[in-house]
Structures are given as C-alpha cells and as structure tokens.
Amino acid sequence: MTDSQPRLVVLTGAGISAESGLKTFRDGDGLWENHAIEDVATPEAWVRDPELVLRFYDERRTQVRRAKPNPAHHALAELEQAGFDVRIVTQNIDDLHERAGSRDVLHLHGEILKARSSIDPRLLYPLPRGGIKLGDLCDKGSQLRPHVVWFGEAVPTYPHACDIVAEADLLLVVGTSLSVMPAAMLVDQAPVECPCILVDPKASHLSPRWVKALDRPASEGLPTLAEHWKRENRLW
Ligand code: APR
C-alpha cells in the first residue's frame, strides 16, 4: 500500500448489525414497531419516565453484549488491516465495528456502552456496573444518562463527520434507510467526483449519487467488495 492511500469512508446504519441479531428501527418488527420513540428516545421521555428510558437502554445493552460482529464488520476491519485508509461514520450505538477491529470509528448517535452527564453531553463516563440507575450521579453532581443522542437533540459529532465525508475518495453506505437528519445529509457532503456505493437488501433509496447499489445483505455485499478491492489492491 502506498502512503497516499485513497480514503474509503463508510456510513453505516442499523442494517449492518442486523445479521448480528440486533434489530433495526424501521424494518418489520423493528425497534420503533415495539416502542414509541416519544416514550424512550426523547429528552421529554427522560423527564417524564426516566426509569422506562433506562430499562429500554438496559435491554438494548444486553442485546449488544450478546451480539458478535458479522462478516460485514470484519470485512471493513480487514480492509484497514490490509493497509486501506478506512474511516467509519456510524449511526449505530453498538460497538461491533470496534470489536471487529476497526480503529477509526465516529459515532453520530452515541455509544450505548458509555454514560454521560444529563446536563452536559461532553461529559462522558464509564458505564456503572449493572447499568445506570436513578440516583447515579456524575462527578459534577448531575444524573447519569445513556450516552445516546435522542430525537430533537443536537448531534455533536456531525461537523466532524462532515469533514470526514468531504475527504472521501469513495463513499460506501451500508444498512441505513437514510431517514434521519442530519445523518442522511452526509451523503451530500461527499465530493462531487466521489463515487458512492449503497449496500442494502432494499436499496430502494433511489439517488443519483449511487454509482452502484448492491441489493444484498451487508454480510454478503461487504466481503465481496472487500475481496475485490484487496485483489485489485485499489478501491473502486
Ligand atoms: N444488510 C444491510 N442492510 C440491511 C440489512 C442487512 N442484513 N437488514 C436491513 N437492512 C437495511 C434496511 O433495508 C434499511 O434500509 O438497513 C436499513 C435500516 O434502516 P433503519 O431501521 O431506519 O435504521 P437506520 O437507518 O440506522 O436509522 C437511523 O434512526 O432511530 C434512529 O438513532 C436511530 O441511528 C438510528 C437512525
């Protein structure tokens, strides 16, 4: 691999973790089929019923801990280990990219295995053993809450994500319905000349940006792409 390696930027959503057993949000039986967003994933829900919110994230945390990275996560980590410049921007709050070995992962919507101050989103803390309980306070004295960006809240890492996508030589979008802002706008931050590839069984998000849309599950589509790029020793 040469130093000035072309940069692969990968925008991932819940679909990349679906084959690890983690529910997506908007597919059949998705998370939002079984929970009202306004009951568990908004600042108002946190004020109204913090214990319900904590139970929702405790359950998701249990699922995340039980899950294992799938071939899609591993394909991206292996590209990085093969010397490719791979930057991942994920909407997911699981740690499957990191557990697969990816080292450059930016979380847009937080990380479920971390806690944060209820007052200041910049103050992050290790998760208390046994999960967050009402009355667990951070060192500044405010209640701990899940390190998750809720609907209606700012996305503090979005500007950094824009900078990453703006430097992409190839943008790979995997397993996202592109239905949540501002994450969905990242596709338009890619340079005009940057090819964009979509991997999703329902690659139905018709966009002129896609030079290739693989209507396949991530655990098939990504290893296929990664093997091709490694064989050719170049992207695209
Ligand atoms: N491989 C690839 N893609 C898949 C797979 C799979 N095995 N299974 C499902 N998908 C696709 C679906 O077709 C869909 O396009 O993954 C996408 C999942 O879309 P959503 O459920 O909307 O998830 P996501 O796009 O990540 O949601 C974005 O919304 O609720 C908020 O904060 C939450 O980060 C989340 C954001």
Query: CA neighbours within 13 Å on the CB side: how many for 214?
Result: 18
How far is Cα 12 from Cα 97, in angstroms, rounded to an integer? 10
Which ligand 1 atom sits closest to the C-alpha of 12?
26
**pLDDT at residue 33 in the model:** 79
**pLDDT at residue 142 in the model:** 96
Residue 29 confidence (pLDDT) above 90:
no
Report pLDDT digits (tens) over 3-18: 578 899 999 999 999 9
**For residues 222 and 5, which has the higher predicted lDDT (pLDDT)?**
222
**pLDDT at residue 93 in the model:** 98
**pLDDT at residue 32 in the model:** 82
Under 8 Å between Cβ of 144 and 117 = yes
| Distance from the alpha carbon of residue 200 to the mean position of ligand 1, in angstroms | 9
**pLDDT at residue 3 in the model:** 54
Residue 136 confidence (pLDDT) above 90:
yes
How far is Cα 66 from Cα 182, in angstroms, rounded to an integer? 30
Residue 1 confidence (pLDDT) above 70:
no
**222: confidence class by pLDDT, cuts 50, 70, 90:** very high
Instruction: Give the residue, by CA position, lying nearest to ligand 1 atom 30.
Output: 25
Q: How far is CA 34 from the centre of its chain?
A: 21
Instruction: Give the residue, by CA position, lying nearest to ligand 1 atom 10.
Output: 15
**pLDDT at residue 52 in the model:** 95
Mean pLDDT of 220-226: 97
How far is Cα 20 from Cα 25, in angstroms, rounded to an integer? 14
For 87, phi then psi, to 5°, come to -120, 125
Mean pLDDT of 125-151: 96
Report pLDDT digits (tens) over 180-215: 999 999 999 999 999 999 999 988 777 878 888 999
For residue 180, give the DSSP letter: S
Query: Across the beta sheet with 170-174, what order do the strands follow?
Result: 105-107, 85-90, 7-12, 170-174, 196-199, 210-214
Instruction: State the pTM of this model.
Output: 0.96
Q: Which residues line ligand 1 (CB under 6 A)?
A: 13-15, 18-19, 24-27, 30, 91, 109, 175-177, 179-180, 200-202, 217-218
Mean pLDDT of 215-230: 96
Mean pLDDT of 85-105: 98
How far is Cα 40 from Cα 44, in angstroms, rounded to an integer? 9
Mean pLDDT of 168-173: 97
Query: Was 135 annotated as part of a binding site?
Result: no
Mean pLDDT of the chain: 94
